[in-house]
């Protein structure tokens, strides 16, 4: 094999090596943890985006555009419009990469029954995607009076098979 053939062969090998290993050289998103920024009750503008989520109560999730945490837990019984949840920071690498999570809300007994569909829920779940290094709010809001169940609601945030956050809220 002459020098030119060896250079062509070596160049071909390097091109093939880069083509085969290129995607593995890019850093896969790695979520380390969620840091709680604020948790509690809040008010929001319900005019936000509505996403179909078949495992969520009523089959939809609202992503509000405007929200504000309340300084204190409401002292009165929950009513339509009562909302609660956690704003958290996604910690990991690389910053700005998309990461998908699953929000699960454990509903106290006896659960919720949607009067329109007759479907009963003991939990409400939805998937969402956000970016590493950004803050995100995950909450539950009583959009209908039939959703209000008194007791302890448990919020969980999962990334794959890892539960990264669990918080409880007492609804009176």
pLDDT tens for each residue of 118-150: 999 999 999 999 999 999 999 999 989 999 999
The Cα 76–Cα 171 span in angstroms is 10
Res 83: pLDDT = 92
When pLDDT is averaged across residues 33-61 and rounded to a whole number, the result is 87
| Residue 53 and residue 61 in contact, taking contact as beta carbons nearer than 8 Å | yes
Helix (H, G, I), strand (E, B) or coil at 110: coil
Nearest Cα residue to 140 out of 93, 72, 78: 78
125, 108, 113, 45: which is closest to 81 by C-alpha?
Answer: 45
Considering the entire predicted model, what is its pTM? Answer: 0.79
Name the least confident of 39-43, 48-52, 53-57: 48-52
What is the assigned CATH class of domain 30-171?
mainly beta
Separation of alpha carbons 113 and 80, rounded Å: 16
pLDDT of residue 161: 97
């Amino acid at each position: 094999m002459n020098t030119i053939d060896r250079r062509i062969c070596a160049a071909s090998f390097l091109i093939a090596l880069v083509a085969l290993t290129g995607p593995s050289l890019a850093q896969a998103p790695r979520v380390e943890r969620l840091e709680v920024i604020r948790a509690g009750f809040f008010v929001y503008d319900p005019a936000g985006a509505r996403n179909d989520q078949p495992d969520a109560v009523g089959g939809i999730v609202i992503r509000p555009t405007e929200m504000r945490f309340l300084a204190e837990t409401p002292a009165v019984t929950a009513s339509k419009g009562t909302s609660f949840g956690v704003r958290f920071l996604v910690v990991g690498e690389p910053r700005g990469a998309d990461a998908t999570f699953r929000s699960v809300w454990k509903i106290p007994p006896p659960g919720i029954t949607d009067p329109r569909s007759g479907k009963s829920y003991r939990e409400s779940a939805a998937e969402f995607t956000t970016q590493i290094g950004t803050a995100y709010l995950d909450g539950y809001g009583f959009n209908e009076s039939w959703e209000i169940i008194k007791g302890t609601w448990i919020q969980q945030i999962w990334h794959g098979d890892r539960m990264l956050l669990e918080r409880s809220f007492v609804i009176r």
